[in-house]
Structure 1
Amino acid sequence: MKTNTTIAIIGATGSMGSAISRSLATANFPLLLCANDQDKLQGLLQDIKSANAPAKVETINCSKEASWEADIIIMAVPYQAEKEIAQKISEVAAQKIVISIANPLNNTFDGLLTSPDTSAAEELQKALPLSKVVKAFNTTFAADFAQPVIDGKQVDAFIAGDHQPSVETVTQLVASAGFNPIVAGGLKESRILENMQLLLIKLGMKYNYNWHAGWKILHN
């Protein structure tokens, strides 16, 4: 993956969006940060620049323009907002990698809004038929980006996609963010990955993990 690969982060001021933005800025990728709240967006830019003056980061207030200029698009928005944004960017996102981080959680965090035979990532792929949708970053909490090593173990981050070159590119991106990337399989594996994060959220609330927890596969 080239270090001059431009990445657009749509929804950059949300908890996950800002965490991803801060993390990837330290890897020196050119970033285009897009969000509705311009005050928060400028604040995020100043924070990133204060921590890392050479960071190649710009703000942009249009998801379509950001997607047009980017090589990779990260949809750091809630599941409910993905379809509307997909309609705006569908033409300019053609043939580009679009990363789905969304978990389609219901309001009570005890189930998913999607039916068992699909996932948020698969629905996004249908909305962006000419793009290469890859699932990533959905099994990690925002706090994990600042501290991807927990109890001495590097947090695993799972990836799923049908286009192998795109999956390989996203795997490198996940590693650049400090996680141990694990390719789970094709895009349909997103159904499992989204349920994994639902389970982690339930466990976090039950055992008070303080939103800093992650998955780790132990093996020989």
Structure 2
Amino acid sequence: MKTKQTIAIIGATGNMGSAIAKNLSQGNYRLLLCARNHDKLYTLAQEIMEGNLTTDVDVLDCTMNASWEADLIIMAVPYHEEKEIAEKIRQVATQKIVVSISNPLNETYNGLTTAPDTSAAEELQKLLPNSKIVKAFSTIFAADFASPVIGGKQADAFVAGNDPEALQTVSELVQATGFNPIIAGNLSVSRTLENMTVLLIQLTMKYNYNWLAGWKVLHH
């Protein structure tokens, strides 16, 4: 039997964090939920346990403790909060996989706040130089987790990173949440992925997709 991984979800009460947590709770994982709002955190944990009595979920109020216990860390927080969290977990995240899901959107959602020659994931790698940063879950909306099959097709979720084993581990994680993982390339590909999200948001607002939309690569 495959060893159960312990996954810390930092920012678990946000739209993306809670969606990821709920879907992963159906898999063979131990979840450590961490967020600033403790009331919402305990409510989320209760919802997860009510939906799956056999799930393994704990609530921790310290990002460092959660990251120390975890095999893998998901940063489900806005881009502007990552620096503060990275400083807290830097030592305990050494050699661990840290998943970057954020998109550094500007206030009008029509562009990114990062320079063209970098990405949120690459900036996180600079903050956590001894961790294995992998970009994932950034090209899908929170609503998609409840319906990963859109228009009769399973939505793709792109993964990018520099470490082959980390990419494989995160691809399995993506698959466990219900999406089709596609390894897109090294971490610099995150620049493209984050811009893809800008486009998807613009299309969603223009054509009223009701935030249930995603990307699909069609091929023979």
Q: Which residue of 2 aligns with 1:114?
A: 114
TM-score (norm 1): 0.99
1:99-127 deviation line (CA, Å, top 9, x unaligned): 00000001110110000000000000000
CA distance in 1, matches of 2:41, 2:169: 27
Give the count of matched residue pairs: 220
CA distance in 1, matches of 2:166, 2:154: 23
Aligned pairs for 1:58-137 within 5 A: 58-137=58-137
CA distance in 2, matches of 1:155, 1:137: 11
TM-score (norm 2): 0.99
Q: Which residue of 2 aligns with 1:154?
A: 154
CA distance in 2, matches of 1:3, 1:180: 23
Q: Which residue of 1 aligns with 2:31?
A: 31
Cα offset for 1:169? 0.5
1:79-104 deviation line (CA, Å, top 9, x unaligned): 00001100000000000000000000
**RMSD, matched Cα:** 0.9
Q: Which residue of 2 aligns with 1:175?
A: 175
**What amino acid maps onto 1:92 in structure 2?**
V
CA distance in 2, matches of 1:141, 1:3: 30
CA distance in 1, matches of 2:41, 2:171: 27
CA distance in 1, matches of 2:2, 2:109: 38
**What amino acid maps onto 1:130 in structure 2?**
N
Secondary structure at 2:25's aligned position in 1?
Answer: helix
Aligned residues of 2:5 and 2:28 also touching (Cα < 8 A): no
Q: Which residue of 2 aligns with 1:188?
A: 188
State which drifts further: 8-17 or 49-58.
49-58
Q: Which runs of 4+ in 1 moved over 2 A?
A: none
**What amino acid maps onto 1:125 in structure 2?**
Q
Consecutive unaligned residues of structure 2, counting only runs of 5 or more, are none
CA distance in 1, matches of 2:38, 2:12: 11
Secondary structure at 1:8's aligned position in 2?
Answer: strand
Identity of aligned residues (%): 64
CA distance in 2, matches of 1:107, 1:28: 38
CA distance in 2, matches of 1:2, 1:111: 42
CA distance in 2, matches of 1:157, 1:63: 26
Aligned residues of 2:34 and 2:63 also touching (Cα < 8 A): yes
**What amino acid maps onto 1:173 in structure 2?**
L
Q: Describe the shift of the 1:213–1:162 C-alpha distance in structure 2 as closer, same or farther (beyond 3 A).
A: same
**What amino acid maps onto 2:160 in structure 1?**
A
Q: Which residue of 2 aligns with 1:216?
A: 216
Cα offset for 1:2? 4.0
CA distance in 2, matches of 1:93, 1:2: 23
CA distance in 1, matches of 2:35, 2:92: 18
Q: Which residue of 2 aligns with 1:11?
A: 11
The reply on whether 1:163 has 2:163 as its aligned counterpart is yes
Consecutive unaligned residues of structure 1, counting only runs of 5 or more, are none
**What amino acid maps onto 2:24 in structure 1?**
L
Secondary structure at 1:6's aligned position in 2?
Answer: strand
CA distance in 2, matches of 1:2, 1:84: 34
